[in-house]
Amino acid sequence: MMDWYGNGMGSGNWAVMIAAMTIFWSLVILAGVMIFRGSGGSRGGGTRDRGAHEILDERFARGDVDREEYEARSALIRGNVR
């Protein structure tokens, strides 16, 4: 007759198995999140979510572009180029 505790897993082995599976699935989920976030587009310094007109407005406010260039680029963004 087989002894119940002699051939089975003890409580220490169950704890190690639970910890290993938790680490494994955490790494799988983390890798999935990193892949999903990395496929969002360019990594151009946070400009991915901002619109072109918003960036142009900020450049105009800083003085990087003058009024004529601002109006020309704004018309180009809106599609009102003649």
Using the predicted structure, report yes or no on whether residue 8 has a pLDDT greater than 90. no
16 against 10, higher pLDDT = 16
The arithmetic mean of pLDDT across residues 30-55, rounded, is: 73
Q: What is the pTM of this model?
A: 0.41
User: For the segment 50-60, what is each residue's pLDDT rounded down to a tens digit?
Assistant: 688 899 999 99
Question: Amino acid identity, residue 62?
Answer: R
* 29 vs 50: which has the higher pLDDT: 29
| DSSP 8-state code for residue 82 | -
Mean pLDDT of 5-18: 74
| Confidence check: pLDDT of 24 > 50 | yes
Detail the DSSP E strand segments found in the chain: none
- How far out from the chain centre does Cα 1 lie? 57
